[in-house]
């Protein structure tokens, strides 16, 4: 497979870089990826693909029939951006205040287009014993577009599925994955603390929701440190907390919001119950009450061992052994590719972009040389999976 990166770069490197910049300039959020989808369709125009649009609102599924009647594999990219104000200073920076491709989904989309263009060429298509579905998904960042795509039948008739994610902190051009859990279950919660309001000078006549909230925030941290097996990964983060309207008023209510990350399914089910018991116990002890509203969002992204091995084998032959790494631990980030992997065997693969600003930061950017590398990796995965 050596030489494939050069071939993809030579044939389509310019086009997919331009596409990435066009998408980057016009970021769209959630399911509203209409313009992005139009750009993808324009880039796929003229290829021998059967195209289905309007999947999960603005998603696209493009199917390539290979030479043989073997299995069907799917390659998935996410298309949505984030509500972040870009501060990269790039000439093709976001043209929309408060929206930015800060998670690299512009890159994922262009890499998948690059794979579609490459595999559509007769010389590659003739080597595919089966079908390839190119899945362009909206709403990864919180909307659960992957879940909607699965509900709309995108996983039906598919035998294996793969996805890449650009990964800061991993050496540039290195692919990493593992069998089993690769990304955590990502759940969210809101809590309302109900006390009794009053005059700031007369605390004894009130039940101060702020002080109760502060105690609960601290107590919740003991769930991970004191109740979870120390070798079991878990995160409880309170990301929002709010109360009050004036310096001399004790507020009646306070609210907080946060996220819980787990890998173990039993722990995932157990934590909300313990959070509620603990919060209510602390609140009642302070003459207040607490209500927990808990939402199970993205499940654990669990790789099939064979699919993960295939991806690593392909990456090793493409990039060299030292650039195909079996990672020891999952990330505690969440990923809605999990919904596909609940239905199908497959693998989620990190593609290193070196020491750059983190995902979801206003400074996030990457060297576009990764685009032909990622497109070649997706291409090579399809060739290997459909080589039989």
Q: Which residues bind Zn ion (CB under 5 A)?
A: 103
Q: What is the nearest approach in angstroms of Zn ion to the Cβ of residue 157?
A: 26
Q: Cite the DSSP H helix spans in 69-222.
A: 105-120, 122-125, 145-151, 209-222
Contact predicate 143/290, CB 8 Å: no
Q: How far is the CB of 367 from Zn ion (least distance, A)?
A: 18
Cα Rg of the chain, angstroms? 23
d(CA 7, CA 13) in angstroms, rounded, equals 9
Distance CA 45, CA 342 (A): 32
In the complex with Zn ion, which residue's Cβ is closer, 87 or 384?
87
> Least distance from C-beta 52 to Zn ion, angstroms?
23
Residue number with CB closer to Zn ion (103 or 211): 103
Q: Which is nearer to Zn ion, 106 or 264 (CB)?
A: 106
Q: Which residue is nearest to Zn ion (CB)?
A: 103
Minimum distance, C-beta of residue 71 to Zn ion, in the bound complex (Å):
27
| Closer to Zn ion by Cβ: residue 186 or 193 | 186
Give dist(CA 235, CA 184) in Å, integer: 10
Minimum CB distance to Zn ion smaller for 103 or for 184: 103
Cβ proximity to Zn ion, 29 vs 103, nearer residue: 103
Minimum distance, C-beta of residue 83 to Zn ion, in the bound complex (Å):
11
* Strands annotated E in the chain: 50-55, 59-65, 68-78, 129-137, 160-167, 175-177, 180-183, 185-194, 198-199, 234-243, 249-250, 253-262, 289-298, 301-303, 324-326, 346-352
- The nearer residue to Zn ion, 8 or 163, going by C-beta atoms, is 163
Angle at 304 between CA 299 and CA 310, to 5 degrees: 135
DSSP state of 226: I
Least distance between Zn ion and beta carbon 53 (Å)? 23
d(C-alpha 359, C-alpha 336), whole Å: 16
Q: Is 129 helix (H, G, I), strand (E, B) or coil?
A: strand
Cβ of residue 351: shortest distance to Zn ion, in angstroms?
12
Tokens of 104: 């690299």
CB of 45 to Zn ion, least distance (A): 27
Q: How many CA atoms lie within 13 A of 232 on its CB side?
A: 17
Judged by beta carbon, residue 55 or residue 103, the one nearer Zn ion is 103
**Per-position b or e across 327-338, b if 16+ CB within 10 A of its CB:** beebbbbbbbbb
Q: Residue 292 CB, nearest distance to Zn ion (Å)?
A: 26
């Amino acid at each position: 497979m050596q030489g494939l990166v050069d071939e993809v770069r030579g044939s389509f490197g310019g086009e997919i870089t331009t596409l990435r910049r066009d998408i980057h300039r016009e970021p769209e959020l959630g399911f509203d990826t209409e313009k992005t989808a139009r750009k993808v369709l324009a880039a796929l125009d003229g290829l021998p693909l059967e195209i289905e649009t309007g999947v999960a609102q603005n998603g696209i599924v493009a199917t390539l029939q290979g030479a043989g009647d073997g299995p069907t594999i799917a390659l998935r990219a996410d298309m949505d951006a984030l509500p972040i104000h870009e501060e990269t200073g790039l000439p093709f920076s976001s043209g929309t205040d408060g929206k930015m491709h800060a998670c690299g989904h512009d890159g994922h989309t262009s890499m998948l287009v690059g794979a579609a263009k490459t595999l559509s060429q007769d010389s590659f298509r003739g080597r595919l014993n089966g079908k390839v579905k190119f899945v362009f998904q909206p709403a990864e960042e919180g909307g659960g577009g992957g879940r909607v795509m699965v509900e709309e039948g995108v996983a039906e008739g598919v035998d294996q599925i793969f996805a890449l994610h650009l990964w800061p902190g991993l050496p540039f051009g290195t692919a990493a994955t593992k069998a089993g859990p690769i990304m955590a279950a990502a759940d969210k919660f809101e809590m309302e603390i109900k006390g009794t309001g009053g005059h700031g000078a007369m605390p004894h006549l009130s039940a101060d929701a702020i002080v109760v909230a502060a105690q609960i925030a601290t107590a919740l941290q003991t769930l991970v440190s004191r109740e979870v097996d120390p070798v079991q990964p878990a995160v409880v983060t309170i990301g929002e907390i709010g109360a009050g309207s004036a310096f001399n008023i004790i507020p009646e209510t306070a609210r907080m919001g946060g996220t819980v990350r787990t890998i173990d399914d039993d722990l995932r089910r157990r934590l909300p119950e313990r959070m509620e018991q603990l919060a209510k116990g602390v609140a009642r002890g302070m003459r207040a009450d607490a209500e927990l509203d808990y939402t199970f969002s993205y499940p654990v992204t669990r790789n099939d061992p064979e699919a993960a091995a295939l991806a690593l084998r392909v990456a090793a032959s493409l990039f060299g052994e030292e650039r195909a790494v079996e990672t020891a631990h999952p990330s505690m980030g969440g990923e809605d590719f999990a919904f596909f992997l609940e239905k199908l065997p497959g693998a989620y693969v990190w593609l290193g972009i070196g020491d750059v600003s983190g995902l979801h930061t206003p400074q996030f950017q990457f060297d576009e040389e990764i685009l032909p590398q990622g497109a070649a990796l997706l291409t090579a995965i399809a060739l290997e999976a459909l080589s039989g």
